[in-house]
Amino acid sequence: MWGFVVIAAVGGFYSARFFTKKEHGHKENYAAFKTDALSNKENIIPVLVVGSGPSGLAAALYGARSGFYSVIFEGPKPGGQLMGTSYVENWPGLPKKLGPDLIKSLREQAQEFGAVDVAQTIKAIDISQWPYVVTTENDVKLHALTIVLATGAAAVLLDVPGAEKYMSWDKGISTCAICDAPFYKEKDVFVVGGGDSAAEEAMQLAPYAKKITLLVRGETMRASAVMQERLKTYKNIFVQYNSKIVAIKGDENRMKEVDIDVKGVVATVASDGIFLAIGHAPNSSLVKGQVAMNKAGFIEVEGRSQKTNIPGIFAAGDVSDFKYRQAGVAAGDGIKAALDAVEFLRMIGFNDTLAEKLEANFFTSEGGLGRTPLTALANKAEFLKAIESSEMPILVDIYTSPCPTCEQMLPILESLASEFADRCKFYKMDFKKLEELEEKYSVATVPTFLVFKKGQIIARGSKVMSLKDMRSLLEKALQG
Ligand code: NDP
């Protein structure tokens, strides 16, 4: 029945373990995973999911619904790429739903089955021992029996002079039209790329910008025929084939013009902004050198499963998918990864009786990793009362709805509200209810975060910030 025995060569633990090879792929020697040693470990998580896009949330949903304690670590951009999209029209069975709303439903569905959502980023994974040691950004050490890597992919940036300098929504280069299009009213902008994302970015800009030129490097667009047809219905969208940006120029604060090469002839053209849609690169650096991946960094999975080359570690969604990269496919991957994880847990003998015995050793999201909802300020009077009467510093999150970036920041703020509970109060306020106060407090975009002490602003931030940056902004403000 069994084929030959191989000794794997990644890491101390891995090299010591035996794998028996069957007809297709390898099969783990489950006996090597000693569950009796688990009682000495703390912060145990049977199914640890890294990433909170459709793949991560679907994995947690299936893990939890199968009866295994599943915890999602949301990562620096909770919800992933769908948080920056408008309507998702191709989720089977769902005619039309906003990306952030789809993520919200998925998250709530996973939570209903007991999945726990933690607004933290994982900074390290050590596979040299089992249970695998996973470290959060705030240095909490976790012991994972299985890991689902669902860290997604990030937008590829242009590699030309000036691109790095102006790579920020307020300097002119963006990768998210739905977030930043309103800042380009009556402006001339470029969208770089020829895929569906580029077409979508152009259409999201169309209601705002005066002129949008799609710069396509080849002779044809890669976008689907339906998207290309839809583009033709917009009078302010133009497509320039055989074109590429070779330099971006401007002053200290903003880009002003772009050198464009069209069939070898370079011209300098004035421009207010550039939106990039030139593909995505996998976020796989956490396990680089530990888990097998291809040259481009996509994690390799075995056959029709989501198994990586490391037993008990699975990959799902865009981090392992260089071809399809669809939200629905990612969710399907997440489901398969959870089923693979559940099979692994059962095979190593992790059952209900053992889970009950170990419950006291399980990770809980208390102690700085929980979430506290922000108190809503209903009107201007409540806003003024909160900032003037509080003894403690307060943070006010100025948001509006719908606003994907506001949704994206909310879990981060809720997690900080938990962490800073004894030092700062957290509120949220709808931008529309500020009345004329936006001028007084210079609120020009949403979300904007204002930190007040005794009625005075002591710090401010805006748009998407990582948990780390937001925490450091707050720490500095509270110390000062
Ligand atoms: P794609 O990989 O499909 O397209 C990337 C585009 O960027 C290509 O046209 C490519 O050119 C171009 N490109 C790459 N590098 C450069 C560069 N350095 N300079 C200039 N141009 C460059 O990525 P997308 O993000 O568009 O789409 C990813 C997947 O998501 C696809 O499967 C797509 O169908 C799907 N999607 C679906 C949507 C929908 O259905 N509503 C919306 C958005 C995405 P070239 O063609 O010459 O290689």
Q: What is the pLDDT of residues 135-183, one digit of tens each?
A: 998 889 999 999 999 999 988 999 999 999 998 777 899 888 876 787 8
pLDDT tens, position by position, 180-230: 787 899 999 999 999 998 999 999 999 999 999 999 999 999 999 999 999
Ligand 1 binding pocket mutation candidate from 217, 321, 324 (most atoms within 8 A of CB): 217
| Peptide bond connecting 373 to the previous residue in cis, omega within 30 degrees of 0 | no
The CA distance from 5 to 207, in Å, is: 62
Q: Tell me which range, 11-15, 405-409, 418-422, is most confidently predicted by mean pLDDT.
A: 418-422
User: Is the CB–ligand 1 distance for residue 244 below 6 Å?
Assistant: yes
The CA distance from 262 to 227, in Å, is: 24
Rounded average pLDDT over 36-41: 93
pLDDT tens, position by position, 302-340: 999 999 999 999 999 999 998 888 899 999 999 999 999
Ligand 1 mean position, distance from CA 12 (Å): 40
The CA distance from 226 to 201, in Å, is: 15
Residues in the chain: 480
Ligand 1 mean position, distance from CA 221 (Å): 9
Instruction: Give the closest residue (by CA) to ligand 1 atom 34.
Output: 196
User: Is the CB–ligand 1 distance for residue 192 below 6 Å?
Assistant: yes
pLDDT tens, position by position, 60-86: 999 999 999 999 999 988 888 888 777
More confident site: 139 or 13: 139
The percent of residues above 90 in pLDDT, for the chain, comes to: 68
Asked if pLDDT for residue 8 goes beyond 50, the answer is no
Q: What share of the chain is helix, strand, coil (3-state, %, to 5)?
A: 30, 30, 40
- The rounded mean pLDDT for the chain is 89
Rounded average pLDDT over 276-293: 96
Locate the ligand 1 atom nearest the alpha carbon of residue 224 and give its number. 34
User: Is the CB–ligand 1 distance for residue 193 below 6 Å?
Assistant: yes
Burial code of 303-337, b = ≥16 C-beta within 10 A, e = fewer?
eeebbbbbbbbbbbbbbbbbeebbbbbbbbbbbbb
Return the pLDDT at 389.
87
Work out the pLDDT band at 366, boundaries 50, 70, 90. low
User: Is the CB–ligand 1 distance for residue 84 below 6 Å?
Assistant: no
Name the strands in the sheet holding 273-276, side by side, starting at the edge strand that comes first in the sequence.
173-174, 273-276, 188-192, 211-215, 237-240
CA nearest neighbour of 468 among 423, 416, 418, 424? 416
